Copies of this chain bind each other. A is one copy, B any other.
Amino acid sequence: MKGVWYLTIAGDLIRGHTDAIILAHLIKGDSYGYEINRDIQKKSQGRYEFKEATLYTAVRRLEQCGCITSYWGDESTGARRRYYAITELGRETYKTLVRDWENARALINKLIYVEGV
């Protein structure tokens, strides 16, 4: 992690969205663990990235439930990469998760603020 915390984006606040974030990335095309994380780092302007264990736990979970499939890349150089591809089920799941996020967001917005404060 090495100091990429932004204020307090604690894991618990992202918890439950890792899968959606990964699926969102894979909709744009096949990718591998490190690249997913690099992209998230870039998109968040260095404020966030998954812990490796979290990332790899998540992709394994997504593969198990049939949302993604994986294959080894045929790099002739550098470290080997395990690529992930989103499945049709993955695309549907993604849509559901986005709707879930929007519902949860609306709900939290309603519950977390105090009128007149």
Contacts and interface: CB of A to CB of B under 8 A. Distances in A.
Interface of A: 6-10, 12-17, 20-21, 24, 27-28, 40, 43-44, 47-48, 96-101, 103-105, 107-108, 110-114, 117
Contact of A103 (B6, B105, B107, B117): B6
B96 A113 contact: no
State the majority secondary structure of interface residues on A.
Answer: helix
A107 B97 CA distance: 16
Contacts of A108: 14, 17, 21, 101, 105
Contacts of A113: 24, 98
A98 B13 CA distance: 12
B98 A7 contact: no
Given A9-B103, A103-B7, A40 B114 contact: no
A48 B110 CA distance: 11
